[in-house]
Amino acid sequence: MLLLGCSGLAAFLPTAVHAEGFVDDAKATLTLRNAYFNRNFINSNNAQGKAEEWTQNFILDAKSGFTQGPVGFGM
Of 18 and 38, the one with more pLDDT: 38
Of 58 and 22, the one with more pLDDT: 58
Could you give the C-alpha distances from 58 to 3, 29, 32, 40, in angstroms and in order? Answer: 44, 10, 5, 28
Burial class (CB in 10 A: 0-12, 13-18, 19+), 72: middle
Q: What is the pLDDT of residues 6-16, one digit of tens each?
A: 555 455 445 44
Q: What is the pTM of this model?
A: 0.44
H-helix segments, the chain: 2-10
* Angle (CA) 65 66 71, round 5°: 170
Q: Is 4 a residue whose pLDDT tops 50?
A: no
- pLDDT score for 2: 47
